[in-house]
Amino acid sequence: MIPRRFLPSLALFLSGCASTFQGYPSLAKRAIEGAPIAEAAPQPSPVAPEPELIQNVDRLTAQAQAGGAAFDKAWPAADKAAKAASGSAVSSEAWVAAQTALSALESARNDSVSALASLDVLYVERSNAVSEGKVSGGIDMIDAARGTVLAIVDGQNDRLDVLKGRLAQP
């Protein structure tokens, strides 16, 4: 019973495979392949950013560098406290002193982290303004300053992680 129902389906299926051979498409050059290639439009010349933007970016970069200097100044005390507390139990006097020094170190880098956040906001706002056609240029300058400040903050994060790794975790 099943083969009788299956036979018409098989016949229809096989008839689709039994087409006549019509050959492969020609490999001759088509007309569109000989058409002249259009020249790309030249890149627009970079637009100088506004003086206010330059001053703002310079101010934020200087703020980040000041935060880096404050961090470097506070580093030796925190490093010494973390070395002294290495292997100490949580809540011991040495551990608490090291945590206090780490807090002071975190506070010293506040200017760097704040400058990075401000540059991130400035970058997003400028990108939106450029895409809306309100202003032009300045994104590359902000991005370069952001990269510099990000390197400062990343270095601080790495150094803090080293200190935190020396201390017992609660």
pLDDT digits over 125-136, tens only? 999 998 898 888
pLDDT, average across residues 64-92: 94
Which pLDDT band, with edges at 50, 70 and 90, does 170 fall under?
Answer: confident
Report whether 31 contacts 72 (CB < 8 A).
no
Our CA angle for 63, 66, 69, nearest 5°, is: 155
Q: For the whole model, what pTM was predicted?
A: 0.70
Highest mean pLDDT, choosing among 19-33, 43-57, 102-116, 131-145: 102-116
Share of the chain above pLDDT 90, in %: 58
Lowest-pLDDT choice from 69-73, 96-100, 101-105, 132-136: 132-136
Q: Closest by alpha carbon to 74, among 114, 108, 112?
A: 108
Which pLDDT band, with edges at 50, 70 and 90, does 45 fall under?
Answer: low
pLDDT over 70 (residue 30): yes
Please, what is the average pLDDT of the chain? 88
pLDDT digits (tens, 9 = 90+) for 7-21: 777 777 776 666 666
